[in-house]
Structure 1
Amino acid sequence: MVVVLGAYLLAFGAAWVVIVVSPPSWHPLLAAFVADVVATLVVFALSMAFDNASLYDPYWSVAPPVVAAWWVAVAGSGDTVRQVLVVGLISVWAVRLTGNWAYGWTGLHKVDWRYDQLRVTRGRVPWWVVNLGGIQLMPTVVVYIGLLSVWPALAGSRPFGLLDVVATLVTAGAIALEAVADLQLHRFAAAAANRGRILATGVWRRTRHPNYLGEIALWWGLWLFGLAAAPSWWWTGVGPLAMVVLFKTASIPLMDRRSLERRSGYADHMREVPALLPRLRGPHRQLTAPNATEHH
């Protein structure tokens, strides 16, 4: 953990240098993006030095509150209530999600199985290219696109209103869903009696990937804040749309494919339980194949 903390201190130190030396003509969106990429490059370099691409994993949740806090500092305007809510909700989400990562982090010997798979199946593409482009830069860019709506949410001049209330409920509900899903998963996996079974109770009874559903909903909630503050920035909806594409085309298929290969009965589970949007009724029976765990 000391290595991880040191890596992120170096990364955000480099990002701060970018902010300090950036030309005054740069919009905060541009300055934040360049700093974000530079911080990612530092984490990438260290992940190569320690031969562990998972060093990047917490970046997904660590970077957004830092960016949001800086945007508040330079916004120069904006509704205070909305600013407090947006930064507060992003911070709660970040602390919880980073804590969930730390809970499962056992040291530099641990690497996400998906990265090992990419390393084996990359063909003639150099590993550093796969690591930099597919594992680190791509998520950084997707998260930054998701954050685009946070700028108008923090700098927009429209007063706090009904749409902000809806945004608060959606964002807070998304955080709660992710927290409940992870808690239920940890408790289920910790019980020896559950070995050989699929988690199909609680929120996992309604959707195969409730934590992914919560993650997507969070970014839509932040977009609603941006829409409430500055409707002309409606186009930042490209951010949550990018999240939907990422989870639907990459994360969920990878998780389901792995479970199908390793767990008998998972095909029945897929037929009974939808991937994201929940059904009103859960599965008719308790499935008995091993549980498929999730990872952000």
Structure 2
Amino acid sequence: MLTVLLASLVAVALLMVATALLARRMGRVVIVDATWGFGFVLVALVCALVGDAGVRWLLLVMVGLWGLRLGRHTLQRLLATDEEDPRYAELLDGKPYSFAVTRVFLTQGLAMWFVSLPVQVAAVTETRWTWLVVVGVVVWAVGLVFETVGDAQLSAYRARPRESRPQVMDQGLWRYTRHPNYFGDACVWWGVWTVGLGGGLVGLATVLSPVVMTYFLVFATGARLLEKTMMKRAGYPEYAARTSMFVPLPPRKVAVS
């Protein structure tokens, strides 16, 4: 297990160093967002090559499908503009690049390694409870559908002329949750953790990994941060009043004054 943990840590470190150098050359720290998805795929690949448990190949497929889709989607969105993301522009305003290295690249690298611990531990743990593996795959599949469909629906909405589309995206999955893609991300990693839990109680020790990922998605760098900007847009406060922020729920009835 120590070999897998160290190999994964080295892989993440090298990837983040390369990302920091690329970001410096491009003048855009936001490129790290694309590395996020691809980085998990790299960790899963390292675990598959170094580990010895059969389930590591299943996890490589699961993380691979999720991470490659997310990385490709994010990269396409980032390359559509040459401007820095407002979040990073505000964070790094007037600060030396070394601040970005520690606050962004180092932090995200450590977070990536920590969140992927269920994959690392499962790579060296033989499966004992197959039914948990099945449950995990189902939860992962639900998450992947939510994330993929949610992103596709949002892209279709943005492609429509402004004059012919609603003020906010409130159709499809977005009718039931304001962030179906973030909810999908959380399900994916709870599913991955459940697959690893099939190896026994050692998997239970990694429960903080999906907890941390969910925290990021809801409170730290995900939904809550985005909401600060979205609440300033016309129609969004009304949409927020009737729509669940994270977990999909039927729209609430809002009294009209």
Q: TM-score, normalised by structure 1?
A: 0.78
CA contact (8 A) 1:205 1:283 kept: no
Gaps of 5+ in 1: 1-24, 286-296
CA positional deviation for 1:159: 4.5
On the 8 A contact 2:130/2:198 being kept in 1, the answer is yes
Aligned to 1:102: 75
In the alignment, structure 2 segments of 5+ residues that lack a partner are none
| Deviating more after overlay: 181-190 vs 194-203 | 194-203
Asked if the contact 1:53–1:115 (Cα under 8 Å) also holds between the matched residues in 2, the reply is: yes
CA offset at residue 154 of structure 1? Answer: 2.3
Report the alpha carbon displacement of residue 164 of structure 1 after superposing the two structures with TM.
0.6
- 1:258 corresponds in structure 2 to 229
Residue 215 (structure 1) shift? 0.6
CA distance change for structure 1 residues 235 and 194 in 2, over 3 Å: closer, same or farther?
farther
- Cα displacement (A) at 1:194: 4.3
1:163 aligns with 2:132: yes
Work out whether residues 184 and 202 of structure 1, in 8 Å CA contact, stay in contact via their aligned partners in 2. Answer: yes
Distance (Å, rounded) in 2 between the aligned partners of 1:130 and 1:211:
29
Q: Distance in 1 between matches of 2:157 and 2:244?
A: 20
Amino acid at match of 2:137: T
Residue 174 in 1 paired to residue 147 in 2? no
The match for 1:20 is: none
2:175 pairs with 1:202: no
SS of aligned partner of 1:229? coil
Aligned equivalents of 2:248, 2:214: Cα separation in 1 = 15
Amino acid in structure 1 at the alignment position of 2:14 = V
Given residue 182 of structure 2, which amino acid in structure 1 is its aligned partner? Answer: Y
- The structure 1 residue matched to 2:110, chosen from 127, 131, 141, is 141
2:32 — aligned with what?
56
Separation in structure 1 between the aligned mates of residue 123 and residue 164 of structure 2, nearest angstrom: 45
- Computed over aligned residues only, the root mean square deviation of the Cα atoms, in angstroms, reads 2.2
Instruction: Give the residue type in structure 2 aligned to 1:29.
Output: L
Q: Which amino acid aligns with 1:175?
A: L
Question: Are the counterparts in 2 of residues 68 and 150 from structure 1 also a CA contact under 8 Å?
Answer: yes
How many pairs align? 252
Q: Percent identity?
A: 24
Q: 1:278 to 1:107 in 2, by over 3 A?
A: closer
Distance (Å, rounded) in 1 between the aligned partners of 2:114 and 2:104: 16
Q: Which amino acid aligns with 2:34?
A: P
Contact 1:188 1:194 in 2 (8 A): no
How far 1:160 moved relative to its partner?
6.0
- The equivalent residue for 2:182 is 212
Provide the secondary structure at the position in 2 that maps to 1:236: coil
* SS of residue in 1 equivalent to 2:76: helix
Check whether the contact 2:44–2:64 (CA below 8 A) recurs between aligned residues: no
Paired with 1:119 and 1:195, the residues of 2 have a C-alpha distance of 35
Residue 112 of structure 1 and its aligned partner are, at CA, apart by 1.8
Give the Cα–Cα distance (whole angstroms) in 1 for the partners of residues 139 and 39 of structure 2: 21
8 A contact 2:47–2:56 mirrored in 1: no
Deviation sequence 1:125-166 (CA, Å, 0-9, x none): x34244223322222222211110112322211246111100
Task: Name which of structure 1's ranges 232-241 and 96-105 shifts more when overlaid on structure 2.
Answer: 96-105
